Every structure is written in structure tokens, then in C-alpha cells.
Structure 1
Amino acid sequence: MKNEIKITLPSLNMQRMEIFKKGIEQSILALQSNAAAAPYPKAKAVDYSTLDERYFLTVEQGWIVPPHKLVNAWFEQFKSTIPEYGSDSSLAALLGIHSNGASRRIREYRNGEKPIPYGIWRKFLVITGRVPQEIYPVLGVFDTEGE
């Protein structure tokens, strides 16, 4: 009779759940870190009394495209404040624009040649602490074996 070594591995579902739980823990740490972000003064080039609150809303709440002068002022403030994002190309990469001509797209938004898309604007607002991050509810963990 042979001696057999039996190794019991967690099921794929259990492994996925552990990865999911670890992701949640990492997200909580990131949110806590975000809450401690450094404060910066208002941009001198912006008249805050004229800002339309709809620039800060979600699409579902009635978001409207901000004027390019505001986009430019806040982009310039950010670039001058955070040195590693001091160029249009590095700002584009931070905002998820990775195509050829990414820095040109940033300039188009800044100059008013194209309106800034909601997703890019919203990400910028979150990164700069002007709006809170959206946390989506997990309504179920799908594609499991029912464990």
C-alpha cells in the first residue's frame, strides 16, 4: 500500500472570495488615506461665486459641462501644485487618457475646442477632492458555485 499525501486546497470560489475581501480592505485603506489628503488654497483664476453647482453633479443628477476657462484654471492649478503631473501628458495619463495625442486632448479641453467628457471631469473632481468618490453597492458575487 502506497502512502499518499493529500493536500486540500481551497476551492476556486473560496479563493475568489478571499481576493474580493482583500480588495475591499485595500479600498477602505485607500479611502482613509484620501480623507487625510493635503489641503490647497482656491485657484486665483477662478471666481468661485459664479460656479454652477451642476458642474459637481453626476449625470443622473443633472451634470452640465463646465466652461473651458474653469477646466483650464483647475488643470493649471493642479499641474503647478503636484509636480509629477506638471505636464498635459502626465495629467492625461492620470485621468485615463492613454491614446496617441493624449496631451492634445487635454489642451482641447483647456482651450474649449472640445467639451470635457463627464468621466474625465468626474475623475478629476474626485482626484482633487472636490467631490466624493462614488461607492457602488455589491448586490451579489456572481459566477460562484454557490458556496
Structure 2
Amino acid sequence: MSRRFLLRLLAATTLAVAPSLSLPTAAPPNAEAYIIWPHDGAVIGGGKFWVRMGLRNMGVCPKGVESPRCGHHHLLIDTELPPLDKEIPSDKNHLHFGAGETDARIELPPGKHTLQLLMGDAKHVPFEPPIYSKKITITVK
């Protein structure tokens, strides 16, 4: 094979693969996610309660809306941050609010629990750099 043929083959292969590559969505400067309620250390009677989610310097929008200045909340319950270069899991420890919700009623069993927010882009992937809240601890009585 000639060198010219190999270069054309490499270029064609690269172009065919390139559209499937997904670059992370850049985070707006100074964006900050935070939990409004409950506060760190709160003791909550009963298992059902409201979580209020806050965000500064960017907007909240539903999943599928591709914008570097808006995303949607994911609530992490009793878990660590997931890999920040992959889609955020969706399970009992990773709640997705893909409709753009900023509050949610959740239910947790009695005991100590941790809560943390992580912002996802249109495809549920964390921004770059990632936007996440401080992890808080609450107790459900």
C-alpha cells in the first residue's frame, strides 16, 4: 500500500469516527449548585420530605436542551460522586430531575443519610469542570 493511500484511509476513518465522539459541555464560569433545604445536620421527622435545589450563575432546563449555560439536577443519596466523564447513573442513589425540577419530595428510611447535587448536561453527563454541591448529612427519625 502506498503512503498516500494509507493517509487517505486514516483521514476517512478519523472523519467517520469523529461525529460519535462527545466532548464534555463546558461549565459557565462561577456556576454553583447547592442544597437549599434540608440544611446540613437537619433532623427530619418521618421519612418523606422536600429537597429544594439551588443553582447560581447558570439556568435549569430539561434534559435534551443543549446549552452550555443550563443543565439539570441529579441528587446523589448515600453515595460518592460518580465518574465525572461518563453519563450519571440512574438508580436509587442517583435521582435524575430531567424535567428541570428544582424541588422534589423524597422518602428515606430512618437513619443518617448524605445528599449531594451534581449538574448534568443535555445527555446527563457532568459539565467540565463538574458542578456539584457540598455533601450534606441529615438524620431521618
Name the structure, 1 or 2, with higher relative contact order (CA <8 Å, separation 6+). Answer: 2
Task: Identify the structure with the greater helix proportion.
Answer: 1
In the superposition, the TM-score normalised over structure 1's length comes to 0.27
In the superposition, the TM-score normalised over structure 2's length comes to 0.28
Task: Identify the structure with the greater strand proportion.
Answer: 2
Larger radius of gyration, structure 1 or 2?
1
